[in-house]
Structure 1
Amino acid sequence: MSTAASSEAKESNSKANATVYRMVMKKHLCPFGLKSVDLLEREGYDVEDHQLTTREETDAFMEKHNVDTTPQTYIRGKRIGGYEELRKYFGKNVKSEDETSYRPVLAVFAVAALLALAVGWMLGGLFTIRTGELFIAFSMSILAMLKLQDVESFSTMFLNYDLLAQRKVPYSYVYPYAELLAGVLMVAGAMLWLAIPVALFIGTVGAVSVFKAVYIDRRELKCACVGGSSSVPLGFTSLTENLMMMGMGVWMLRYYFGG
């Protein structure tokens, strides 16, 4: 958004009037209409809220104003458009579908860290080795959960770079279940004879695959680490996930052998 347009928005929002036309039906309440009203109120506008309560009323509005969607916002008689256009008008960031974002991964690691600290607090030792182990195990479990939301989409993205999955396609479907299994067992400290080799195997294959795709072949791909709709680029984050699993597998050997 240009500086001039941003200045116009700021200058015109001093208790100016805005009009919003939005769908409010018995079986459908438009969420973007609610967001538009809320954004305008937070920006200091007095909002005239026109609720379109029937399909016929909505269609008539769109035909009259020559628009294809609702909500539609008007400020001082000028049509701004829908919710995304309104955000642009106020200089808010509007994320595109192809825009890179590390937010999903940061959210996973932040939640895993908080869970690990919470359990550590409950066990009487906040910053301990066990807290670090739990952080990795929780991270593995949460990442697996995100993949399991849509295994088909995950497998499609995973096949772009995983060397084993490219040879044995069923592995792309098994991977998230294996990651979850290893993570949960490591949280419990149970059946390490199974958890350790699983973590070592999928972590090693994953690390080699990511390293080859990114640092040798120089391919620009999206990472499937947080699921098939990820906007996280394949690279350091993906490699870190796999190295964490490898390291956790090696570390947990000390418990298995009674060290």
Structure 2
Amino acid sequence: MPKDTSIKTATLHRMVMADHMCPYGLKAKDLLERHGFVIEDHHLTNREEVDAFMAEHKVKTTPQIFFDGKRIGGYDDLSKHLGITTNAQDATTYKPVIALFTIAALMAIAVTWLSTGSVFSGRIIEFFISISMVLLGLQKLQDVERFATMFLNYDLLAQRWVRYGYIYPFVEAGAGLLMMAGVLTWISAPAALFVAGIGAISVFKAVYIDKRELKCACVGGDSKVPLGFVSLTENLMMVGMALWMISKL
């Protein structure tokens, strides 16, 4: 009986141990299933099986995928083979800031509704900016060392006083929290105005005057967000919020 060539088959070898299940093996299995493959799923259940498999096929990692006996490679190789472009290690993306500002907007709507009973309130803008400041500060506080290092690439004050890079996340998050609560404005507004003003000038100089292509430290030290319009907007929002809060004193 002739083989049905319309059925796509793949052989997958992946680690499935009592104390470890390879995440890339699961991702490879899911990717193959989503592309309509019938999978012959081979589990490597202990270290000896893994070592023997890698020695036999002269590979250093698992999972390994085969089509009709021909080795395709691991998960990244499979993605390329199926025409799926994976992000390069240094590729730029706006996804982190889009996600952050989207969550900040939804949180602002929720807080405005809870505090005023309506979303049609001028406070929604205040909540959006202050929540964004807290979330951005939190991203930086996850790894202050890496943030401070990336920050040194373009911030004018940090380049003169290195410790400023370590202080900045605390000022940003702290000012955002105080603004959100509407307390100690005489502290939070000038602090936000100071750091955001320096930030706006630094970004403008680096991007629009010096024409440098850098990554922005706005969402942390491992950021792949390009330094530019978004970074400048973040700082200008903080400046605007600070001036607004000062005018209300």
Q: TM-score range by the shorter chain?
A: over 0.9
Question: Map of 1:33-48 to 2, 5 A cutoff?
Answer: 33-48=25-40
Shift of 1:14: 4.3
2:41 is the alignment partner of 1:49: yes
2:60 is the alignment partner of 1:68: yes
Structure 1: how far apart are the matches of 2:29 and 2:120?
A: 45
2:106 is the alignment partner of 1:101: no
- Give every structure 1 segment of 4 or more consecutive aligned residues whose post-TM-superposition deviation is greater than 4 Å: none
2:141 is the alignment partner of 1:148: yes
Structure 2: how far apart are the matches of 1:45 and 1:61?
A: 23
- Amino acid corresponding to residue 62 of structure 2 in structure 1: T
Partner of 2:122: 129
**CA root-mean-square deviation:** 1.4
Q: 1:31-61: per-residue Cα shift (whole Å, max 9, x none)?
A: 0000111111111111111110111110110
Q: Which one of the candidate residues 242, 245, 248 is aligned to 1:249?
A: 242
Shift of 1:133: 0.8
Contact 1:13/1:44 (CA < 8 Å) preserved in 2?
Answer: no
Partner of 1:86: 78
- Amino acid corresponding to residue 69 of structure 1 in structure 2: T
Q: 1:55-92: per-residue Cα shift (whole Å, max 9, x none)?
A: 11101101101111100011222211111111112211
Partner of 1:174: 167
Unaligned runs of 5+ in 2: none
3-state SS in 2 of match to 1:218 = coil
Q: 1:151-186: per-residue Cα shift (whole Å, max 9, x none)?
A: 000000000111111111110000000000011111
2:69 is the alignment partner of 1:77: yes
Structure 2: how far apart are the matches of 1:103 and 1:187?
A: 25
Structure 1: how far apart are the matches of 2:234 and 2:73?
A: 42
Shift of 1:15: 3.2
Shift of 1:108: 0.8
Unaligned runs of 5+ in 1: 1-11
3-state SS in 2 of match to 1:200 = helix
Contact 1:199/1:249 (CA < 8 Å) preserved in 2?
Answer: yes
- Amino acid corresponding to residue 22 of structure 2 in structure 1: C
3-state SS in 1 of match to 2:40 = strand
Structure 2: how far apart are the matches of 1:15 and 1:136?
A: 53
Contact 1:144/1:176 (CA < 8 Å) preserved in 2?
Answer: yes
Partner of 1:239: 232
TM-score, scaled relative to structure 2: 0.95
% identical aligned pairs = 59
TM-score, scaled relative to structure 1: 0.91
Structure 2: how far apart are the matches of 1:26 and 1:95?
A: 32
Structure 1: how far apart are the matches of 2:142 and 2:237?
A: 22
3-state SS in 2 of match to 1:50 = strand
